[in-house]
Amino acid sequence: MTYKVASLFSGCGGMDLGAEGNFEYQNDFYKKLNTKIVFSSDIDKYAVEIYNDNFEHKSILGDIRELKSTLPEHDILIGGFPCQSFSIVAQNPPRLGYKNDNGKLFFEMIDVLENKKPLAFIAENVKGLLSANKKQAFPLVLKSFKDAGYHCTFKVLDSSNFSIPQKRERVFIVGFRDLIASNKFDYPESIDKKSHLKDVIFSENEVDDKYFFSEKAVNGMLRNQEKMNKGRAQDPESFCNTITAHLSKASLNSVDPVLCIEGRYRRFTPREAARIQSFPDSFQFKVSDTRSYKAIGNAVPPVLMWHLMKSVIRALEQ
Ligand SMILES: C[S@@+](CC[C@H](N)C(=O)[O-])C[C@H]1O[C@@H](n2cnc3c(N)ncnc32)[C@H](O)[C@@H]1O
């Protein structure tokens, strides 16, 4: 059976690439899974542009609140819903409210589950969701998924355990309509083979001067380093800290990861950021650096998603 997958908040397609498979990363081949993406969309024009440069099927540009009625039937729903700002303080009994428009988007996933009743879903979010609102938000998020008719589990997965050279902890919620499938489901095991930053970065002479910080910025940072804990230079022998969506603004004053090789400080190139996120080199980013960094930093690492989707399919097929 080929499982039809609908993807919400698809961004540039990190989650979707992993959900489909059929790509190479760091000399390993991630085989095609028994899936077919039948819907994907995002509200960000440039993320959709990147997506459509890389996938045969096309992502639709638009607001999911307006597009959701057009969703086709599907078997698996996937989505990294935008980080939430729920308001649940001073409510009795506590329930999920919205602090702003973004806070409502999680309910779009719930809506689709209630209306389309796919066999399973995978939702992703930052680990901070577990502690948000004095730990009151997450149980309510989980309850909403359960109330939509799903047997749910959740787990924090760290990309560095899946041959990805990045420490990136994200919470994944996986739900099945069928209790037997849910009982058969296990989150993917850590992979023994580790990948480190040095495996994916370019040598310094391959990197354009524009990615290096000026002498003035470096001297300023060095003067204040002890006082301000600046200069988040990463160890090439180890995993990179989490790549974020604002890497284009990485400065020596910020907490964003940077490199310091033989005394020269620089930011990662978009291709390096993509590799740190486990995108294959065949995945193209034709938009500006700033827009590329944003889409890359927002993405679910394809390799991690591949392992998770494989586990979900295994549970459905048993
Ligand atoms: C965390 S990112 C998802 C990245 C994606 N899962 C990936 O792996 O590449 C969340 C995405 O939600 C999109 N988004 C925010 N509000 C939206 C809306 N109202 N309708 C559709 N997409 C929206 C953002 O543009 C962003 O790309």
Q: Residues 44-100: pLDDT tens digits?
A: 999 999 999 999 999 999 999 999 999 999 999 999 998 767 777 767 778 787 777
The SS3 of residue 123 is: strand
- For residue 294, the CA-to-ligand 1 centroid distance in Å is 11
Closest to 302 in 3D by CA, of 2, 33, 6, 3:
33
- For residue 241, the CA-to-ligand 1 centroid distance in Å is 22
pLDDT tens, position by position, 227-270 = 555 558 899 999 999 998 888 777 777 778 999 888 888 999 99
Q: Is the pLDDT of residue 106 over 60?
A: yes
Domains of the chain, by residue range, sit at 3-190+299-317, 197-279+286-292
Q: Is 12 in the pocket of ligand 1 (CB under 6 A)?
A: yes
Integer angstrom CA distances of residue 43 from 14, 32, 63, 66, 105: 16, 27, 5, 11, 12
Atom 1 in ligand 1: residue holding the nearest Cα: 298
Q: Which residues are catalytic?
A: 83
Q: Is 200 in the pocket of ligand 1 (CB under 6 A)?
A: no
Phi first, then psi: give them for residue 25, nearest 5 degrees. -145, 125
Atom 17 in ligand 1: residue holding the nearest Cα: 43
Q: Is 47 in the pocket of ligand 1 (CB under 6 A)?
A: yes
Integer angstrom CA distances of residue 150 from 32, 145, 153: 27, 6, 10
Atom of ligand 1 nearest to the CA of 101: 19
Atom of ligand 1 nearest to the CA of 7: 6
- Fold for domain 3-190+299-317? Rossmann fold (3.40.50)
Strand 169-176 and strand 120-126: the pairing is antiparallel
- For residue 212, the CA-to-ligand 1 centroid distance in Å is 30
Mention every residue, 6+ apart, whose C-beta is less than 8 A from residue 56: none
Atom of ligand 1 nearest to the CA of 13: 9
